[in-house]
Amino acid sequence: MDPWSWICELPESSEFAESDSPAVFQLAGDLTRSIQLTVERASGSDQESLSLIFKVIVKGFHRLKSSTIWVSDTCLLSSEKPFLPLVLQLLRELISHSPTTRDSACTKSDLLEVKPGPVNWVMDSHSPESFSSVFNLILLTRLFRLCAFDAPSEVGSFFFQHLLGPHVNSLTCQHAPVLKKFLVSVGVDPELCIVRAASYALSKWMISKEVGLENLGLKQLRSSLPRHPLGFSYATEAHGLWILKGYYPILSMNVTGNNSSNEVHNNIIKFPIVEPKEAVLRYALSHQQVEIIVQYDYSVRFHENYIKVNARVDNIRIHVSKLGLHKGGGMENQIADCYSEEKYFPSRVRVWVGPEIGSSHVSGLSLGRSTKNEEREVEVMRVLKGNFGKGKVAPRVKARARMSTRRKIKDWRIEQDSEGNAAVFDAVLYDRESGQEVTNVKPNPEGFKNVFTKSGGMVFGRDEYGDEVGWRVGREMEGSVLKWRMGGKIWLTYWPNKLNTSFYETRCVEWCDEVDFPLLHTS
């Protein structure tokens, strides 16, 4: 699917210039139904100032009053950037309909005026084929709202099956470096709106996929669902920081433990019977995504015989956002309100940073934190047994020895480690009652207090991870551009909060990326 290249070729198309009929690009279709993107001349325009209007047309559906479900503003072909207004319009409409959190720091109205400069720069610096990944993301996410919410249900089902399903990777950063540059260019606040809108569409598609497979007897479930996590992730460098980001819907994360086991028989996966309350709970929990930002503060020092590269964790921010529209009194919003206190929380964080694999010019990794020797307080009480007095009437005192141990521990245990030339930073949440990792134990009815932020997230500052780590690079590499890799693995756990249910679960996601690292000797 490449509608952007088709759009860019319109001005050179002699067929379109000489015809009064609209040009058509079929986005999806079968024998009787279709979703099309069309373009036609605006009324009153002439050859010197030719104006175009784009439309989204759906055909073959019976319950529609009109086959046109979307109309663009006019695009003037004689302008320097004739199709920039089309991209900006779709982007603004996507942001206006994106899921919001109730505690959002900025309003939608602040973001609707998307600055055209960054978008224009990405369009100018990349070919139409490369920019297609950006346009497909914007178009598909906008079409999700049009087909799934503003049209009859048969249109939404057709969209999921024939358009979103075959091109679901268009809603991710998989193999799309231009999309990563686009997200960096538009800024953090529009980026959040874009990824949350796309993650909401992904979550709905995965829910529909699971429901459809369940109705079919759950055959071939493992091979039908995506094998890699669907979401957004990228690494970048800015102002002396290496930054790693990840946005992943809950359903795209792998299940590592829960209170039920699935049995496989004759290639059919059988799930245990789920109570209606638990089914609604799982539906509500499916509308959440984890948002992770990892920042490393790095520096380069040049010595006589080597170059020293130092890095330390600046901060790690983990937030679990709820993907909901929070408008109207529909069933989905009633469920969201009823289960508003139920949420996943981070239970383990593992991030790493280091040179690319096989870098023979980098050696001598030095860590900056020792393994923690936890303090222990031991209290011992001994009482001797003895008899007082003689005779049967004398009292006899019975005593027993008692020993008690008290241990000082924190909820989070944070360590440094290494894997080859990569420095690893690991933070594990422990259950206070059992002393075991939260990812491996059943829920503690007491829960956790004062462990997370008010919104349920977690922030690790630079003071938590100790001193910086360092690598030594051969001096002959001065002036070269190295590849520096970063990765993360995040575990999220759900324990019942205010709901009386036996359901609990832990999921995890792992990803990695790399940045260009020039070794320049500047003042």
Tens of pLDDT, residue by residue over 72-108, are 999 888 788 889 999 999 999 999 888 865 555 555 5
Looking at residue 246, its pLDDT comes to 95
> Cα 495 from chain centroid?
21
Three-class secondary structure assignment of 56-119: EEEECCCCCCCCEEEECCCEECCCCCCCHHHHHHHHHHHHHCCCCCCCCCCCHHHHCCCCHHHH
Looking at residue 87, its pLDDT comes to 95
Assess whether pLDDT exceeds 80 at residue 458: yes
Looking at residue 402, its pLDDT comes to 58
Residue 393 carries which DSSP code? S
Q: What is the mean pLDDT of residues 198-213?
A: 84
Amino acid at 333: N
In 3-state terms, what secondary structure has residue 219? strand
Per the structure block, which two tokens stand in for 342?
Answer: 């139920």
pLDDT digits (tens, 9 = 90+) for 42-68: 876 666 667 889 999 999 988 787 799
Beta-strand pair 51-59/362-366:
unpaired
Q: What is the mean pLDDT of residues 132-143?
A: 95
Asked whether residue 400 is assigned to any structural domain, the reply reads yes
Looking at residue 379, its pLDDT comes to 56
Counted domains in the chain: 1
Looking at residue 462, its pLDDT comes to 80
Looking at residue 211, its pLDDT comes to 72
pLDDT over 90 percentage in the chain: 40
The structure's pTM equals: 0.85
Asked whether residue 166 is assigned to any structural domain, the reply reads no
- Residue at token pair 């046109």: 68
Looking at residue 367, its pLDDT comes to 84
Query: Pick the residue with more confidence: 286 or 112?
Result: 286
Q: What is the mean pLDDT of residues 159-173?
A: 90
Distance (Å, whole) CA 290 – CA 509: 10
CB-count exposure of residue 288 (10 Å: 0-12, 13-18, 19+): buried
Looking at residue 18, its pLDDT comes to 66
Looking at residue 108, its pLDDT comes to 58
Looking at residue 31, its pLDDT comes to 86
Looking at residue 488, its pLDDT comes to 95
- Residue at token pair 């919001």: 100
pLDDT digits (tens, 9 = 90+) for 255-276: 988 776 444 444 444 445 567 7
Per residue in 449-486, is it b (16+ CB within 10 Å) or e — as a string? eebbeeebbbebebeebbebbbbbbeeeeeeeebebbb
Confidence at 220, pLDDT banded by 50, 70, 90? very low
Q: What is the mean pLDDT of residues 436-449?
A: 76
Beta-strand pair 68-71/422-429:
unpaired
Confidence at 224, pLDDT banded by 50, 70, 90? very low
Residues 6 or more apart whose Cβ sits within 8 Å of residue 201 = 140, 141, 144, 148, 164, 171
Query: Pick the residue with more confidence: 476 or 209?
Result: 476
Looking at residue 221, its pLDDT comes to 43
Asked whether residue 395 is assigned to any structural domain, the reply reads yes
Distance (Å, whole) CA 500 – CA 264: 29
Residues 6 or more apart whose Cβ sits within 8 Å of residue 364 = 470, 471, 472
Q: Give the mean pLDDT of the chain.
A: 82
pLDDT over 70 percentage in the chain: 78
Assess whether pLDDT exceeds 80 at residue 396: no
Confidence at 459, pLDDT banded by 50, 70, 90? confident
Looking at residue 111, its pLDDT comes to 59
pLDDT digits (tens, 9 = 90+) for 467-523: 789 999 999 999 899 999 999 999 999 998 888 888 899 999 999 999 999 988 763
Distance (Å, whole) CA 219 – CA 261: 17
Query: Pick the residue with more confidence: 464 or 34?
Result: 34
Q: Which domain range does residue 397 map to?
A: 376-407
Assess whether pLDDT exceeds 80 at residue 337: no
Asked whether residue 387 is assigned to any structural domain, the reply reads yes
Per residue in 3-31, is it b (16+ CB within 10 Å) or e — as a string? bbebbbebeeeeebeeeeebbebebbeee
Run of H or E residues at 5: helix 3-8
Looking at residue 34, its pLDDT comes to 94
> Cα 50 from chain centroid?
42
Amino acid at 433: E
pLDDT digits (tens, 9 = 90+) for 362-395: 887 888 776 665 555 555 555 555 555 555 555 5
Asked whether residue 401 is assigned to any structural domain, the reply reads yes
